Amino acid sequence: MKNWADWYRIITFAEKTLLVIIAFLTAYAVLVEIVLILTERAVKLTDLLLLFIYAEVLGMVAAFYKFRKIPITVPIFIAITALCRLIILQGKGINTIDLLYESGAVLLLAISALVIRWNLINLVNAKESDDT
């Protein structure tokens, strides 16, 4: 049993170390993006979406340290934002079928976030009704 506990501690330490590294690198990327925006003296929608993605990554790391778990919907929102940013970056010259695939992926992710959220609400409501 001791061997299992050692591996668990090693993996937990590695996970926390990686999350700290991710947080610092994300903060650095935010600073680089802000400097880039300031030097260009122009803010584009893609810049704002990228900063939003960085904010969500930092929020995910913070949620892990506060609640010891990462809400499953946060990575889904990051993926939705990243796909929207990709669609915007590709501009008007995007292939129609690619636009349909990417839009379908956004829709699928949005539906999955809705289903997960709906299941969580039903789970909480069911738990509350069992307690009474």
Q: What is residue 131's predicted lDDT score, i.e. its pLDDT? A: 64
- In angstroms, rounded to a whole number, what is the distance separating the alpha carbons of residues 104 and 108? 6
Task: Say if CB 80 and CB 106 are below 8 A apart.
Answer: yes
Q: What is residue 52's predicted lDDT score, i.e. its pLDDT? A: 94
Q: What is residue 1's predicted lDDT score, i.e. its pLDDT? A: 55
- In angstroms, rounded to a whole number, what is the distance separating the alpha carbons of residues 25 and 55? 12
Amino acid in the structure at residue 29: A
- In angstroms, rounded to a whole number, what is the distance separating the alpha carbons of residues 98 and 93? 11
Q: How many degrees, rounded to 5, is the angle at CA 72 between CA 71 and CA 77?
A: 100
Averaged over successive runs of 10 residues, the pLDDT of the chain (132 residues) comes to: 78 92 97 96 93 93 85 90 92 88 96 90 72 62
Q: What is residue 132's predicted lDDT score, i.e. its pLDDT? A: 59
